[in-house]
A and B are shown apart, each in its own frame.
Chain A
Amino acid sequence: MPLFVQLRSFFRNLFSIRRVEADFHQELQSHLEMLVEQNLQAGMTPGEAQRAALIELGGVEQLKEQVREQRLGNWLHSILSDCRFALRQFRKSPGFASIAILTLALGIGANTAIFSAMNPTLFAPLPYPRAGRIMMVWDVFQGSRSDVTFHTFRELTSRSYSFESTAALEAWRPTLSGANEPERLEGQSVSTDYFRVLGIPPALGRDFLLSDNAFHGPKVAILSNALWQRRFNADGNIIGKAITLDGDSYQIIGVMPLNFENVLAPSAELWCPMQYDPTRITDLQTTEWGHHLRMVARLRPSVTPEDASKELRTVANSPVPDFPRAPWASMNSGFFVNSLQAEVTRDVRPALLAVFAAVLLVLAIVSVNVTNLLLARGSQRRAEFAMRAALGASRRRMLRQLLTESLLLSVFGGILGMVVAQLGVRALLLLAPPDLPRLSAIALDPSVFAFGVVITGLIGMVIGVVPAMYASRRDLNAGIQPGAQRIAGGHQTIRRALVVAEVSLAFLLLAGAGLLLRSLQHLLAVDPGFQPSHVLTLQVQTSGHKYDDGDARRRFFTQALEQVRRVPGVSSAAFTGLLPLRDKRDTLTAGTYGAFFEKDQRGFDVFLYDVSPEYFLTLGVPMRRGRSLNDRDVASAPQAVLISESLAKREFGDDDPIGQRVHVGPLDRPWYTVVGVAANVKQTSLAMTDLDAVYITPEQQWFADDAMCLVVRTQGEPLALASNIRSAIWSVDKDQAILHVATMDNLLAASAAERKFVLALFETFAIIALVLAAIGIYGVLSFAVTERFREIGIRSALGASRRDILALILYQGMALAVMGCAVGLLAAALIAQAMTTLLFGVSRLDPPTYLAVILLLGLVCAAACLAPAWRASRVDPMVALRYE
């Protein structure tokens, strides 16, 4: 029964509050009349009776407010009325409201967009069941991590107890032929349990079985959902059908689910079993003993990565006769176990964290800016607050009103911010370097949305608290008095402090952007070791059984090169097994071989380039000593090698290395004789000091690559010749795939793509920060000029010149800017340490950068000060003294 009454009261208070109010008003009236009557009966005069009754009743409005606060559902009602009032306030000053909302939208939107890009890599677990247990296992070779050999993988899989499943994988790039034109696909060749380690089984058909992985086992493949839809029209009966890959018939046994994200090779579209031979373990020359497999493993429940690492070391230290080991896979240095999550994000983590920190700084500036706006408005509304307090609003009630206003501003900012975020995410996806991990997972998903909502709420509180405290503690009398505006409150100090904070935050962002800009400049100024302009690069991939024989592959590449040279506009052309600066992830371990000189037999790793002789001419790699490779360096001729300048320097100092003998690759190969020294070339990236390199001709290589890169120096625009060059290659064999057509300039630019991306974001944030800081200074100064209107008038009446007054106000503003710069400089010196990994060729305390930032910030601040200062200098003393 009381519950029903309470509900009825609640809804009556909510929906027919006018009637409730009118009812109470009447009740008070009748009460007052009865009091008067009672007083009259007691013998007072009518006037006295009226007066005494009013005193007895007390303040009618306060009484009403007290009753209101007792009412059920009052909180909801007053929140609604607070909101209504806040909206009225916004409508009354649309300029203030729209600036605040736009600023907030910018901050919240930018943060939400950046968070959406960070979330999949930095915070969210990988999209696999219990993803935290998936580890990558690396062999340790000469102190650094290395891929594992097949036999190492086998030994660990059969002897270790830490993992419930393990898998090895490597790239597989088959050419799919059939009804449509041939297409080269990205795929992975994997051991049986690859999908079990990830924890995602195929959606259609079955997973790989142990029998699939037997040496010379059945040719079977599992398709990605994308490939299944793209090439096979999502055929529901595809399981068991055959497709032709590299001229062989493969049976399709499964299709992966649509949402399966393959973080280890995002572009892979199909998988086959790797089918290595476990029996010829004593033959060290087999591919099974090559370091070219990645290993992933799923930890058993309750086994930590440290346990696993320790256990693997135990296995490593206790060889068993069943698993003999090759000298280069001795496991002497143990294994490196790291979570897949950490592996996937390893390269980009510092950059992403820096960007996230930068965007949080933007949010801080936005909050400071809006707080400042609210403070300024608070002092304009002083009379209003005083009036409300006089009419019985409690301090808590006023605090709540002000917080409602700031929250409402923030909510509007948040709503608009989601639109900004949507645009921002689109821009990010356009700008993002293609090798950003988990690019496909970047979207405004629920967790990103939740992030947006949370920061919207937090910002609403943060920006509201200081202004609300200030506004609600004014004493009544001072506020209502006319001319109260003139009394500069203590909150001017706070506003100045906020502006100093803004300037210093902007300083930080500008300094960050400046350091990154200088790094990029330094990076692009690095000599790659060759002449990149007017060079076209592409990759030719042979496929099909007619190229099973290495000589057939060599023949094809030689003939193709002949045809390309005949294309009009081609100055020179060459094939190479390794292309500088192409796809750094792929070449990180590929192309490196162990080598040693005859003189001391000390082993080291080198990049091995098998290049046709014109390579040096085509790319413009200068010769330092001796001769270049030439057409006489064929298989039957003495084995010739060019070594890189860095290698010559390290091994021979200033001595002449020509004639020295070096060994590269398999041990049964004859010695190579050094015939010349070539200039150093950047292989993996401009920023890295690369391994040394050796160059030999394809004829003198022990193994004929099935894919080679073609480099072509052209007379005109390289890309204009691309289709002619393609036809020239296809005139030899039209079934061979041509990929990755790009100019060398493009590759150079792409190698700096990640830095450019981070720089572009920093620049955007820095510009926003600069503008906001300028607005902040302008706002505070304008307000100060208005407040000091009279004082300025008196000053000029007493003889201060316009220049004096201009200087006075400029000084006031620039003092804030200087303080901001000082604080910013200090903070930058402290936290620039965190950016060190992102910098290249520039110190984190690079003086020119900081000088430029100070200059820029100073100029912008001065510009922001000028308008209010100018206005102050134009004050007419007569008007100012009469002003009230």
Chain B
Amino acid sequence: MESTTTTTLLQGTLDLLILKSLVAGELHGLGISRRIQLISGGTFQVKPGSLFPALHRMEEEGWISSFWGDSENNRRAKYYRLTKPGRKQLEAETRRWGRISWAIAQALEAS
């Protein structure tokens, strides 16, 4: 139940983070959640309860595609990679996020 609330809080942000984590190359679910933790300096821990619904939704949107491959330990795992619309989406999301964070920062600086 907790993860659900996190998801709703991070709606949009989570998509952005997942897309960003896949820029460097294809990853499986656990890989994505590790990478997000890594690139966010440990701030974001994405639980499976938020991760999988987001992954499946984004796949159906056509931003990412999936395939079964072998993991580092020769285990079968499902990998995700960024698609062309996904890259566009990432750019759009990044711009949008930039605007929002700039605006929030402005708002907080104003006294």
Contact = CB atoms under 8 A, between A and B. Distances in A.
Interface in B53-77: 53-54, 56-57, 59-63, 71, 73, 75-77
Interface in B74-106: 75-78, 84-85
B60 A66 contact: no
Contacts of B57: 70-71
B32 to A, nearest CB: 11
Nearest to A62: B49
Contacts of B30: 31, 34-35, 38
Interface stretch (A2-10, A116-124, A525-533, A609-617): A2-10
A109 B31 CA distance: 61
A58 B57 CA distance: 19
A601 B75 CA distance: 119
Given A31-B29, A63-B52, A58 B61 contact: no
A37 interface: yes
Interface size bracket, A side: 20 to 34
A363 B16 CA distance: 54
Contact of A66 (B49, B61, B76, B78): B49
Contacts of B52: 24, 27-28, 63, 66-67
B48 interface: yes
Contact of A67 (B53, B75, B76): B53
Tell me if B's interface is mostly helix, strand, loop or mixed. Answer: helix
Given A27-B29, A31-B48, A5 B76 contact: no
Given A34-B71, A70-B53, A72-B60, A63 B48 contact: yes
Interface string A20-37: 000110111011011101
**Of listed A57, A67, A69, residue having the most chain B CB within 10 A:** A67
Nearest to A23: B78
A23 B28 CA distance: 14
Contacts of B77: 27, 30-31, 34
A5 B89 CA distance: 15
Contacts of A35: 30
Contacts of A5: 60-62
Contact of B48 (A33, A56, A69, A72): A56
Contacts of B78: 23, 26-27, 30
B42 to A, nearest CB: 16
A63 B2 CA distance: 12
A5 B59 CA distance: 8
A1 B85 CA distance: 8
B3 interface: yes
A850 to B, nearest CB: 59
Contact of B60 (A37, A38, A56, A71): A71
Interface residues of B, number: 26
Nearest to B84: A1
Given A27-B78, A30-B76, A30-B78, A71 B56 contact: yes
B73 to A, nearest CB: 6
B54 to A, nearest CB: 8
A50 to B, nearest CB: 16
Interface in B10-66: 28-30, 47-49, 52-54, 56-57, 59-63
Contacts of B3: 58
A71 B56 CA distance: 7
Nearest to B52: A67
A665 to B, nearest CB: 91
B75 A33 contact: yes
A66 B47 contact: no
A58 B62 contact: no
Nearest to B88: A2
A26 B68 CA distance: 10
**Of listed A24, A28, A34, residue having the most chain B CB within 10 A:** A34
A6 B57 CA distance: 10
Nearest to B48: A57
Nearest to A65: B53
A653 B92 CA distance: 102
**Of listed A1, A4, A33, A70, residue having the most chain B CB within 10 A:** A70
Interface in A78-109: none
A27 B78 CA distance: 6
Contacts of A23: 78
Contacts of A24: 52, 56
A56 B62 contact: no
A27 B3 CA distance: 19
Contact of B4 (A30, A34, A37, A66): A66
Nearest to B2: A58
Contacts of A27: 29, 52, 77-78
Nearest to B76: A30
Nearest to A41: B73
A71 B54 CA distance: 10
A2 B53 contact: no
Contacts of A56: 47-48
A9 B71 contact: no
A129 to B, nearest CB: 53
A5 B60 CA distance: 7
A260 B38 CA distance: 82
A23 B30 CA distance: 16
B75 A34 contact: yes
Contacts of B4: 66
A2 to B, nearest CB: 3
Contacts of B76: 26, 30
B72 to A, nearest CB: 9
Given A30-B75, A34-B77, A67 B62 contact: no
A824 B49 CA distance: 56
A2 B75 contact: no
A30 B77 CA distance: 6
Nearest to A9: B60
A69 B4 CA distance: 13
A426 B15 CA distance: 63
B43 to A, nearest CB: 18
A85 B71 CA distance: 40
Nearest to A29: B76
Contacts of B48: 28, 31, 56-58, 63
A2 B49 contact: no
Contact of A6 (B53, B61, B75, B84): B61
**Of listed B4, B47, B62, residue having the most chain A CB within 10 A:** B62
A109 B71 CA distance: 64
A24 B52 CA distance: 9
A70 B84 CA distance: 22
A2 B75 CA distance: 30
A30 B29 CA distance: 10
A563 B9 CA distance: 104
Contacts of B28: 30-31, 34
A90 to B, nearest CB: 33
**Lowest 10 A-B CB distances belong to which pairs?**
A5-B62, A2-B62, A9-B60, A70-B57, A27-B78, A70-B53, A34-B30, A72-B60, A2-B85, A30-B77
Given A30-B71, A35-B30, A69-B53, 6 more contacts: A2-B85, A30-B75, A34-B28, A34-B30, A58-B48, A63-B49
15 contacts: A2-B61, A4-B62, A5-B62, A23-B78, A26-B78, A27-B29, A27-B52, A30-B78, A38-B30, A58-B3, A63-B49, A66-B49, A67-B52, A70-B53, A70-B56
